[in-house]
Homo-oligomer: A and B are copies of this chain.
Amino acid sequence: MTPSTLAIHGVHVAGTGLIGTSIGMALGRIGVEVTLADRDERVLAEAIGMGAGRPRTDDDRHPDVVIAATPPGRVVEVLSRAAQLWPDATLTHVASVQSQTQIDALDAGVPASRLVGGHPMAGREVSGPRGGRADLFDDRAWVVCPAPGCDLARVDQVRELARICGSRPLDMSVDDHDAAVAVVSHAPQVLASVLAGRLVDASDDVVALAGQGFRDMTRIAGSNPDLWAEILRWNAPSVGAVITGVADDLRQLVDALDASADPEGVNDLLVRGVLGQSRIPGKHGGRDGVYEVISVMVKDEPGQLASLFVAAGDLGVNLEDVRIEHVLGRPSGLIDLSVAPQVADSLRAGLTRQGFDVRS
């Protein structure tokens, strides 16, 4: 019989990459005892150096929770061993695909009563322990996917773990989770790769015309192909469904363009894009597009950005976002400052008064 609440005194993190290290750092903030393991000793040493925890010793009491923060392909092996070593520990992981991980874990004998999948929706473009941050998960969603028949107290415990790390725990079934990440994470990766792939055999003229929009759309195409192939294969059913839907839409667009039989078809597809985009949550829970953008041209030299931001700070204006648009081959850049609409005019006036080259 599992008690109705389970404490989190000790946590063992297996796999000390970016996510494992960050979890250790986050838990350490409130004094949770964190032990660490990684099969790469150099990586483990770096995580320890970041303050994520310490290696286990023979004297350590059993952990309350074990977190497999390894690549997805090794989660089941880690949890199987942990299940045997520590018969009372709650077993969780951070895999970006939940359904296959759960199936394989149960097949391997990991007890359903102790298995609670988890997926913190946080990441960075850098990897490895040195990218670790104690607040990586702050205010992010942390999806919690209990195995069927899991002890409710253990589900609560993993929710609490997410909260300690600063996250908002969000209960989902493994299938709902996998369908959601297929849309918001896996399909974008595929589209970025396919779009960037157009350049492989393109002429230099085509490449020369690629601008900021193309760069934004293909930024993530540079990600690790082996890791992503693994993720896509694990989430094949959901990714397949989303990508098939996208391919169908594209065929329909081509037909609409081709036949001119469906003059509204092209508009309809673009309007759906506007509607879908408007649902994306922006900064601070708001929507994209609620800020006003003020553009300022500055020289591409040390101190130029500083003087601009000092001026904005002196005017008491908070910059909600900053984008720098560079121009090929020239030593200047256009800085787009996003600010709350009610302060836009005073910022514009203030910067102009101080001699800044305000463009809009």
Contacts and interface: CB of A to CB of B under 8 A. Distances in A.
Interface of A: 121, 124-126, 130-131, 133, 135, 138-141, 143, 170, 172, 176, 179-181, 183-185, 187-200, 202-203, 205-211, 213-223, 225-226, 228-229, 232-233, 236, 239-240, 242-247, 249-251, 253-254, 257-258, 260, 266-267, 269-285, 288-289, 293, 295, 297, 300-322, 324, 326-330, 332, 334, 336, 359-360
A250 B246 contact: yes
A199 B274 CA distance: 10
Contact of A274 (B221, B272, B285, B295): B221
18 contacts: A121-B211, A133-B359, A141-B208, A143-B209, A180-B206, A185-B213, A190-B269, A193-B269, A197-B269, A197-B273, A200-B279, A229-B270, A236-B257, A247-B254, A284-B330, A305-B322, A306-B311, A309-B310
B246 A217 contact: no
A281 B326 CA distance: 11
A113 B341 CA distance: 50
A209 B184 CA distance: 7
A142 to B, nearest CB: 11
A126 B338 CA distance: 13
A225 B183 CA distance: 22
A236 B97 CA distance: 38
A203 B297 CA distance: 41
A194 B249 contact: yes
B240 A257 contact: yes
Contacts of A203: 176, 180
A95 to B, nearest CB: 15
B209 A220 contact: no
Contacts of A211: 121, 184-185
B250 A328 contact: no
Contact of A214 (B140, B188, B208): B188
Contacts of A309: 305-306, 308-310
